[in-house]
Chain A
Amino acid sequence: MNVIVTGAAGLVGAEVCARLAAAGHSVVALTHRSTALADHRGPIPTTPFTGRFAAGVTRLAVDITRPDLGLTPRQVDYLCAGRCTLVHAAAVTDFGREDSVYDAVNVHGTAHALALARRGKMPFVHVSTAYVCGEGDGSFANGYERSKYAAERLANGSKVDVVVIRPSIVVGTESTGTTRVFRNIYVMLRLIAEGKVGTLPGRYDACLDLVAVDRVADLVTDAVHRFGEVRGQTLPAIAGRPITLRECSDVFAEYPSLRVPRFVPPEVFQPDALPPEQRRYHDRVVRLYEPYFRRRTVFDDSATRAFHRRRPALTGAAHLRQLLDYCLAIGYLR
């Protein structure tokens, strides 16, 4: 099988490439700038894509914000002739970016990937996010959620055969907590653990669904292999057992060196009362994550369970401990 993976250098994309290559498929890894791919175990061997689908991983530089992903017509022809499946994992997942960036990469990038898939009659596995649910009232917490929602609508409204995978908050591997990318939730973990933010707006019954990257990659890979069984479906890739902020607080308290956060109900939280340094962190970072500290969203993954038997073995507090242990072991946390 030939498989094209966008966002192949990303957290999920690289894991998917490694799995597909290990299964004997020819993988064309589309990356923006990176010439090196690595999953949680280390570098993934690659060779440049020269127009032929070869075993293992070949890489091809693209610009997803441009029509045809910035590829030459000849390159597009090669890809479209390959009877490929396309895994679209490219996205800007950072918070706090300009809307134009989200639109260019997450929305228009998806449109361009769909156009390629349509032309090549490629089954399309779209990596979305569980947080396209937004605030539950049609609004969104940030530009990331809004753009992913728009991208998902494009995918579902296209004439391409689509499976949507919706990961929740993607973190390190289930067995060891290993991750090579410390973004998003990890940034908050560090700020909290080091006491740079002590008081945050939030509710102790808010839920965070942390899903291990290997579980997400397993599901994406399974969807590629068994596309026909789930064509047109949306499959949440979640832990299934979210962790409440109260549980987070209790787990943090198990580590002498880590600070335990104070979550103050948003309606009484007053950023002006914060010490100046904490106020700066609040304005620059915490503000972006605040919706996740008050939401009590619980996702339904019955569709996933019906399709993909493998369930996360480590969830909730035990999983958070695993992540913290890893962060401490490699020195990300002190």
Chain B
Amino acid sequence: MRTGQAKPDVDRLLTLALAQIDVPGQSAVVLEGSIAEGFGTPSSDVDFLVLVDGEDRPAMPTVLFLDGRRVEVRTRSLRQVVEQFDAALAEPDEDVLDRCQRLLGAVPLRGEEVLNRLRALLPADVFAGTVSAWFTNRARHALRYAQAMAELDQFDDAADWARFGLLYSAKSWAARRGETYLEPKWLSSQLSRIERRAGAPQELVRRYRAGVAGVADCVALAEDFGVTGCRPAPGGVRLRRMPDVTTWPIGDRLHVVRDGVDVFALDEHAGHAWRSIVFGRPPAETADRGLLAQFVRLGLVGLHWPDGAAIRPASRPTTPSPGRACPVLSVHGGTVVGPVTLVPLPAKRFCAAGLDLVWSNVLAENAREDLIGALDVGSAEVAEFAGRRMAQVACRGLFSAAGIHPLPPDAALTRSLAELPFVDDGLAAQARRAERPPVSLEELDRLVVMVRATAGAAGFPSSFGSAAAWQRTIELGHDWLRLAAHLNADLPIQDAADLLAAQRGTA
């Protein structure tokens, strides 16, 4: 322990801990974490690491409560430690660096020679350089992201990220001076220790502690900490393609699919903003900056610096609350309840339900043709069958609009309509009336009109009335089919698969 503050009785705690857990007798044990660093408080955990010269051990710590303190005991094989050291140098990430740092900064309790042997594999100055570079990189991304948010008029975001960037810059500076503990919350203590070692106050530390506001001042101080390349560049940040993000219009509505799973339906205004995005260029002058920033936060579009380097802030894309509209979709796509609506269905089900919806309307037209033919020739049984089918397939659309896929059996549809929150009693009664004999084309047509009005399919073409109407039907279904093919979603009929041939991998 580097200082004497908040000293728990470590030896006693270790004895108590080892009495409760199974540890090979020759294992080395170290104290690591904030107490070992000298930053601990009376409420800090006591972290022991057991180093086993044998089989690999699970990462999950054993948590004990001893003498009023929480004690965590982790176990690692020597091989695992060496692997972590290698990873820290080859491809450092936060978790690996943290584990390495904790061991390098540990206090030996048993088997000190084992710890010394391990430490020799990763010299402190090499590790300090690695940690500093890692923080510099993180700081640069944060500060560049702050600049980007400022350019997108997101000033609160920009300020937050500039503060993060400055903090990481200070951590990078501190790491170069041997303060490699990763956790940001002890930065102040680390800076104090640097000053103590230097024997004099440090100007950079004074300026940092004095507080800095605004992106520009954060960037300026970060430069003095050694993090450069974050000043606004000519032309500003550029927009960057994100993997697995695709755009699919359904009718006039744009849908953005993320990772093949999430579907975002855009209203007209958001659609314009989305269409303004050209990779490799700055945001368009006329684009809604708030929406562009939202697209960035959602991970739908990325950013890069004018030098071509991607800006990757240390945060994952966000996911909004799913849209609550009901029905959730119409033949024209997902129902929007704002500029950008997360469709409350996984992409494949959304697509399959949309296709079912279109297809139910086609089938209703087909059944109507059959019904008219049967009525013309006076075939009552055929007419009754066709009439029932027309009512049932029309009602399929209501379930599809609710996002239900696969559909319930046709025979159960009309009596299940009450389960759909957007179907009123009048529509349910009309469905039951139209389904039963005697067949009434008038009642059935009325039902179809009501269903289409409710399911967002008003004006659906009479698919079999003419070649032009069939063409319109194909086009209406085509956008859904194209998305379905991209997602490899269920298609309602084989004919649809044939229409898109290669989309099923026949090419």
Query: A: which residues have CB within 8 A of B?
Result: 199, 203-207, 244-247, 249-250, 253-257, 259-260, 262, 264-265, 268, 270, 272-273, 296, 325, 328-329, 334
Is B297 in contact with chain A by the CB < 8 A criterion?
no
A254 partner residues in chain B, CB cutoff 8 A: 241, 245-247
Task: Please report the C-alpha to C-alpha distance between residue A249 and residue B481 in the assembled complex, in whole angstroms.
Answer: 12
**Listed stretches B106-114, B115-123, B470-478; interface member:** B470-478
Closest chain B residue to A203 by CB distance?
B501
Q: Does A257 lie within 8 Å of B246, measured CB to CB?
A: no
Given A262-B482, A328-B278, A253:B246 Cβ within 8 A: yes
Closest chain B residue to A265 by CB distance?
B499
**Least Cβ distance of B294 to chain A in Å?**
14
A270 partner residues in chain B, CB cutoff 8 A: 467-468, 471
A246 partner residues in chain B, CB cutoff 8 A: 485, 500, 502-503, 507
**Least Cβ distance of A258 to chain B in Å?**
8
Greatest chain B CB density within 10 A among A205, A256, A265 is at A256
Task: Please report the C-alpha to C-alpha distance between residue A131 and residue B507 in the assembled complex, in whole angstroms.
Answer: 19
Q: Does B486 lie within 8 Å of A250, measured CB to CB?
A: yes
Given A204-B500, A205-B501, A253-B486, A260:B475 Cβ within 8 A: no
Is B276 in contact with chain A by the CB < 8 A criterion?
yes
Q: Does B279 lie within 8 Å of A244, measured CB to CB?
A: no
B474 partner residues in chain A, CB cutoff 8 A: 264, 268
B274 partner residues in chain A, CB cutoff 8 A: 256
> What are 21 sample pairs from A and B whose C-beta atoms fall under 8 A apart?
A204-B500, A204-B503, A204-B507, A247-B507, A249-B482, A249-B486, A253-B247, A255-B278, A256-B247, A256-B256, A256-B274, A256-B276, A257-B276, A259-B249, A260-B247, A260-B249, A262-B478, A262-B482, A325-B280, A329-B280, A334-B278
B468 partner residues in chain A, CB cutoff 8 A: 270, 272-273
Q: Which of B286-327 contact A (CB under 8 A)?
A: 301
A245 partner residues in chain B, CB cutoff 8 A: 502
Closest 10 CB pairs of A and B: A205-B502, A253-B246, A205-B507, A244-B507, A256-B277, A204-B502, A205-B501, A246-B502, A273-B471, A257-B278
Q: Does B482 lie within 8 Å of A203, measured CB to CB?
A: no
A253 partner residues in chain B, CB cutoff 8 A: 246-248, 486
Is B269 in contact with chain A by the CB < 8 A criterion?
no
**Least Cβ distance of A178 to chain B in Å?**
15
**Least Cβ distance of A256 to chain B in Å?**
4
Closest chain B residue to A207 by CB distance?
B507
Q: Does A328 lie within 8 Å of B279, measured CB to CB?
A: yes
Task: Please report the C-alpha to C-alpha distance between residue A259 and residue B301 in the assembled complex, in whole angstroms.
Answer: 17
Q: Does B478 lie within 8 Å of A255, measured CB to CB?
A: no
Closest chain A residue to B479 by CB distance?
A262
A296 partner residues in chain B, CB cutoff 8 A: 507
A250 partner residues in chain B, CB cutoff 8 A: 246, 486
Task: Please report the C-alpha to C-alpha distance between residue A205 and residue B474 in the assembled complex, in whole angstroms.
Answer: 18
Is B196 in contact with chain A by the CB < 8 A criterion?
no
Q: Does A256 lie within 8 Å of B280, measured CB to CB?
A: no
Contact of B475 among A199, A244, A257 (CB under 8 A): A199
Closest chain B residue to A261 by CB distance?
B482
Q: Does A256 lie within 8 Å of B486, measured CB to CB?
A: no
Q: Does A257 lie within 8 Å of B502, measured CB to CB?
A: no
Q: Does A268 lie within 8 Å of B471, measured CB to CB?
A: yes
As a 0/1 sequence over residues 214 to 249 of chain B, the CB contacts with chain A under 8 angstroms (1 = contact) are: 000000000000000000000000000100011111
As a 0/1 sequence over residues 14 to 37 of chain B, the CB contacts with chain A under 8 angstroms (1 = contact) are: 000000000000000000000000
Contact of B248 among A206, A260, A329, A334 (CB under 8 A): A260
Q: How many residues of B contact A (CB 8 A)?
A: 35
As a 0/1 sequence over residues 195 to 216 of chain B, the CB contacts with chain A under 8 angstroms (1 = contact) are: 0000000000000000000000
Task: Please report the C-alpha to C-alpha distance between residue A245 and residue B486 in the assembled complex, in whole angstroms.
Answer: 12
B415 partner residues in chain A, CB cutoff 8 A: none
Task: Please report the C-alpha to C-alpha distance between residue A265 and residue B502 in the assembled complex, in whole angstroms.
Answer: 12
Is B506 in contact with chain A by the CB < 8 A criterion?
yes
**Least Cβ distance of B15 to chain A in Å?**
61
Q: Does A256 lie within 8 Å of B507, measured CB to CB?
A: no
Task: Please report the C-alpha to C-alpha distance between residue A273 and residue B466 in the assembled complex, in whole angstroms.
Answer: 12
B471 partner residues in chain A, CB cutoff 8 A: 264, 268, 270, 273
Task: Please report the C-alpha to C-alpha distance between residue A296 and residue B467 in the assembled complex, in whole angstroms.
Answer: 27
A329 partner residues in chain B, CB cutoff 8 A: 280
B501 partner residues in chain A, CB cutoff 8 A: 203-205
Closest chain B residue to A264 by CB distance?
B474
Given A254-B241, A260-B249, A262-B479, A204:B485 Cβ within 8 A: yes
Is B275 in contact with chain A by the CB < 8 A criterion?
yes
Greatest chain A CB density within 10 A among B248, B275, B472, B501 is at B501
Closest chain A residue to B506 by CB distance?
A205
Task: Please report the C-alpha to C-alpha distance between residue A272 and residue B472 in the assembled complex, in whole angstroms.
Answer: 12
Task: Please report the C-alpha to C-alpha distance between residue A249 and residue B277 in the assembled complex, in whole angstroms.
Answer: 18
**Least Cβ distance of A260 to chain B in Å?**
7
Closest chain B residue to A242 by CB distance?
B507
Task: Please report the C-alpha to C-alpha distance between residue A265 and residue B482 in the assembled complex, in whole angstroms.
Answer: 13
B472 partner residues in chain A, CB cutoff 8 A: 273
Task: Please report the C-alpha to C-alpha distance between residue A255 and residue B278 in the assembled complex, in whole angstroms.
Answer: 7
Task: Please report the C-alpha to C-alpha distance between residue A219 and residue B274 in the assembled complex, in whole angstroms.
Answer: 42
Closest chain A residue to B482 by CB distance?
A249
Closest chain A residue to B485 by CB distance?
A246
Task: Please report the C-alpha to C-alpha distance between residue A255 and residue B275 in the assembled complex, in whole angstroms.
Answer: 9
Other than A249-B482, A253-B246, A254-B245, give 12 A-B pairs with Cβ distance below 8 A.
Answer: A206-B502, A207-B507, A245-B502, A246-B485, A253-B248, A256-B278, A257-B275, A262-B475, A262-B479, A264-B471, A325-B280, A328-B279
Q: Does A244 lie within 8 Å of B502, measured CB to CB?
A: yes
Q: Which of B451-471 contact A (CB under 8 A)?
A: 467-468, 470-471
**Least Cβ distance of A298 to chain B in Å?**
9
Closest chain A residue to B280 by CB distance?
A329
**Least Cβ distance of A285 to chain B in Å?**
20
Q: Does B275 lie within 8 Å of A256, measured CB to CB?
A: yes
Closest chain A residue to B276 by CB distance?
A257
Closest chain A residue to B271 by CB distance?
A256
B503 partner residues in chain A, CB cutoff 8 A: 204, 246
**Least Cβ distance of A237 to chain B in Å?**
22
Q: Does B470 lie within 8 Å of A255, measured CB to CB?
A: no
**Least Cβ distance of A60 to chain B in Å?**
41
Task: Please report the C-alpha to C-alpha distance between residue A205 and residue B505 in the assembled complex, in whole angstroms.
Answer: 8
